[in-house]
């Protein structure tokens, strides 16, 4: 049993993956001579993360001898995406629907005949999406909604009349009311907020957090309702190596920093603010009807001096972080594994097949469970399905 690899550089170009397969079949050299050798018993191809499962199907068709029981490969063998996220510009505030909401929304829009690529389409598929982020640098994340007590402290500490008024309504949380605000009300609330934030000198506490959020967003998204929503959201601060999960149904946005993000295979995302994209206020109100689940930090388990284990949303999924400083380490590979170089660069070898990973590149392994040897100075993440 030998291994089949795929080497991806973030081209986001499915055509490039197909051309690489044709080049391989025609005997033409690949893009990176360091990625394979003539004595290799495995195969190294270029693939694209947006082209799954098509890339896997082509691998199986082109190299059937490399797989034991290829007919047992599931329709969604790698039920996640893994990529680097840089919040140099904060990401839109959005949420991913719960499983029941995703299925109902998809069926409803299909029945109405809304094209999948339409700008007003909310549900591109019938799946929920969970999201796990691991901080690579100090990371600030907006996630979920603050408690009434914290919001009241912000309203009083910053002097925000609009927030104080919204808190008098006990039948709903402020985010619901913010989504219904008329444009003139948003303008007035933002003007009040700018005046109030100018007087905040504290460096700690809920009011200080709200001021830092406003000062980060106001120059980038002038007039956006999302600034008001962001002030009402929890602000999480993660140090490098710390991890958190964003559950389905939870509003969230990455405010600053860099992270490794693993998420489920779904394109369902309802935008709420900090964006020029379509915002379906009525659908957001319905999805948020029963409140939001809160964000949750994840316990990172130390395996050895090089490796840590980070739990994902399913017991058959495994995420590991491997840090090497000019040395070597071993990474377990399950039948379907993606290895990504988040920082630095490394050579990854399985048997006599070696793949060079520069920063930002990733490798796809398909085969029987085995072990990869890595060498270099890098921070690597490996996500597997057992």
For residue range 341-363, list pLDDT tens digits in order. 999 999 988 877 788 888 988 88
71-74-75 Cα angle (round to 5) = 110
Q: What is the mean pLDDT of the segment spanning 60-75?
A: 66
CA-closest candidate to residue 211, choices 220, 223, 199, 226: 199
pLDDT at res. 52: 61
Arithmetic mean of pLDDT over the chain: 83
Tens digits of residue pLDDT in 82-91: 889 999 999 9
Average pLDDT over residues 137-159: 94
Cα 46 to chain centroid distance, Å, stands at: 22
Residue 38 pLDDT > 50, yes or no? no
- pLDDT band of 207, cuts 50, 70, 90: very high
pLDDT digits (tens, 9 = 90+) for 256-304: 999 999 998 889 999 999 999 989 999 998 888 767 887 788 999 999 9
Residue 162: φ, ψ to 5°? -65, -40
Rounded Cα–Cα distance for residues 210 and 232 (Å): 8
pLDDT of 60 over the 80 cut: no
| Residue 377 confidence (pLDDT) above 90 | yes
DSSP character for 299? P
The answer, yes or no, to whether residue 29 has pLDDT greater than 70, is no
Instruction: Give the model's pLDDT for residue 156.
Output: 93
Q: Please report which confidence band the pLDDT of residue 251 belongs to, taking 50, 70 and 90 as the band edges.
A: very high
Report the pLDDT averaged over residues 45-68: 64
Give the 3-state secondary structure of 34-56: HHCCCCCCCEEEECCHHHCCHHH
Give the residue from 157, 229, 241, 151 showing the smallest Cα distance to 190.
229
Query: What is the model's pLDDT at position 15?
Result: 37
Between CA 132 and CA 176 the distance in angstroms is: 26
DSSP 21-34: HHHHHTT---S-GG
Evaluate whether 256 touches 80 at the Cβ level (below 8 Å): no
Query: Is the per-residue pLDDT at 4 higher than 70?
Result: no
pLDDT band at 65 (very low <50, low <70, confident <90, very high): low
DSSP states of 110-122 as a string?
Answer: HHHT--TT-TT--
pLDDT of residue 380: 96
Confidence of residue 67 (pLDDT cuts 50, 70, 90): low
- Supply 141's token pair: 């994340």
State yes or no: pLDDT of 314 exceeds 70.
yes
Beta strands 43-46 and 4-8 are parallel
Whether the upstream peptide bond of residue 53 has omega within 30° of 0, thus cis, is yes
Q: Are 273 and 226 in contact (CB under 8 A)?
A: yes
With a pLDDT cut of 90, the percent of the chain lying above it is 57
Q: Is 19 left (phi over 0), alpha (psi -120 to 50) or beta?
A: alpha
């Amino acid at each position: 049993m030998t291994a089949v690899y795929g080497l991806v550089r973030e081209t986001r170009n499915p055509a490039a993956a197909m051309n690489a397969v044709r080049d391989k079949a025609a005997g033409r050299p690949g893009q990176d001579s360091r990625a394979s050798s003539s004595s290799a018993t495995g195969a190294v191809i270029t693939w694209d993360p947006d082209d799954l499962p098509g890339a896997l199907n082509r691998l199986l068709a082109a190299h059937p001898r490399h797989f034991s029981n290829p007919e047992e490969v599931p329709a969604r063998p790698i039920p996640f995406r893994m990529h680097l996220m840089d919040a140099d510009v904060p990401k839109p505030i959005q949420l991913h629907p719960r499983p029941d909401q995703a299925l109902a929304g998809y069926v409803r829009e299909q029945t109405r005949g809304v094209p999948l690529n339409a700008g007003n389409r909310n549900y591109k598929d019938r799946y929920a999406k969970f999201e796990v982020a691991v901080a690579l640098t100090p990371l600030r994340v907006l996630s979920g909604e603050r408690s009434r007590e914290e919001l009241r402290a912000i309203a009083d500490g910053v002097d925000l009349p609009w927030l104080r008024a919204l808190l008098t309504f006990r039948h709903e949380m402020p985010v619901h009311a913010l989504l219904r605000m008329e444009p003139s009300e948003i303008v007035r609330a933002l003007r009040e907020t700018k005046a109030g934030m100018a007087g905040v000198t504290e460096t700690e506490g809920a009011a200080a957090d709200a001021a830092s959020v406003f000062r980060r967003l106001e120059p980038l998204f002038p007039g956006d309702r999302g600034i008001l929503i962001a002030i009402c959201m929890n602000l999480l601060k993660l140090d490098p190596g710390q991890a958190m999960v964003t559950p389905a149904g939870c509003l969230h946005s990455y405010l600053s920093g860099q992270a490794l993000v693993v998420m489920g295979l779904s394109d369902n995302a309802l935008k709420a603010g900090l964006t020029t994209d379509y915002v379906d206020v009525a659908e957001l109100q319905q999805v948020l009807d029963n409140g939001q689940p809160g964000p949750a930090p994840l316990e990172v388990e130390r395996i050895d001096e090089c490796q840590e284990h980070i739990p994902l949303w399913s017991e058959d999924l495994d995420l590991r972080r491997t840090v090497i400083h000019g040395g070597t380490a071993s990474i377990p590979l399950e039948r379907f594994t993606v290895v990504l170089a988040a920082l630095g660069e490394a050579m990854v070898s399985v048997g006599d097949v070696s793949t060079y990973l520069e920063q930002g590149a990733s490798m796809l392994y398909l085969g029987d469970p085995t072990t990869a040897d890595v060498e270099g100075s890098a921070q690597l993440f490996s996500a597997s399905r057992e």
